[in-house]
Structure formats: C-alpha cells, structure tokens
Amino acid sequence: MTSPIIWPYVIYGALVVLTVTGMVAVSHLLGEKHRTRACSEPYESGIDPTGSAHLRYGARYYLVGIFFILFDVEVAIIFAWAAAFRQVGWPGYIASALFIITLAVGLIYVWRLGGLDWYSHRNSNNNGGGF
C-alpha cells in the first residue's frame, strides 16, 4: 500500500497563504490613510443622511428571502432535470413531478398560514413573529 504524495498540496497551500498575506499587507501599506467625516457616513447619493442607518426588519422580511432561496433551488433542480430529460426518462419525470407537487403543497400550506402576507391582521403589533 502506497501513501499519497501530499507535498504538492502543502506547497500549494503555503503559496496560497503567502499570496493572500502579501495582498493584504501591500494593500495596507499602499492604501489611503485619510479619515474624513464623509468616509464614515453611509452613502446616500451625495445627500446628507436624514436618519439612522440601523433599521430593524421584521422576521417576515427574512421569510421572503428564505422563500426566494427555496424556489431558486427548485428552479436549479428543474433545469438540471430538463437538461437530462432524455437520459432520465419516465422515472426522472415522475421524480421531478413529485418534487414539484411537494413544493406546491408546502407553498399552499405556508400561504394558508399567512406566511406570505407582509402584514397580518392577526398580528397587529407588526413585530414579525409567528404566522
């Protein structure tokens, strides 16, 4: 039984660490050092800020993002199935149909619970908690 040769990986890892460290060091040495009042303010198209940049978003805002990611992954899986349609045949079609049906049932379930409503009448204090 022969052991794998790992010295090329060690050299490659050392070169990566050396390159990244060198890039950070050079940017620190050559970068601009000035600190002005405008540099510490959030950018608002050249207009002076009128309020705080620290806003609190409710949980429903993040739920919309999670739903977007979920359906984005769904689209990627369906595109992969469509690209391999001839190779997977009917078993692949049935699997993708079951996948789409499962996601549709989940979407209907969340919709019925009110998870897609931006403002729920049941939750009038608008703290974003729960369905």
Residues shown for the chain? 131
Which tops the pLDDT comparison, 101 or 119?
101
Identify the band that residue 41 occupies on the pLDDT scale cut at 50, 70 and 90: low
Strands (E), 5-93: none
Q: What is the helix, strand, coil percentage profile of the chain, to 5?
A: 60, 0, 40
The single-letter code of the amino acid at 29 is L
Q: In whole angstroms, what is the distance from residue 88 CA to residue 111 CA?
A: 32
Dihedral pair phi/psi, residue 81, rounded to 5°: -65, -45
Instruction: Look at residue 52 and tell me whether its pLDDT is greater than 80.
Output: no
- Which residues does 28 contact at the CB level (< 8 Å), separation at least 6? none
The predicted structure's pLDDT at residue 9: 93
Q: In whole angstroms, what is the distance from residue 76 CA to residue 107 CA?
A: 17
Q: What value, to the nearest 5°, has the Cα angle with vertex 116 and ends 102 and 112?
A: 60
Domains of the chain, first to last:
59-113 (1.20.58.1610)
The predicted structure's pLDDT at residue 13: 97
The predicted structure's pLDDT at residue 131: 45
| Lowest-confidence pick of 28-32, 45-49, 92-96, 107-111 | 45-49
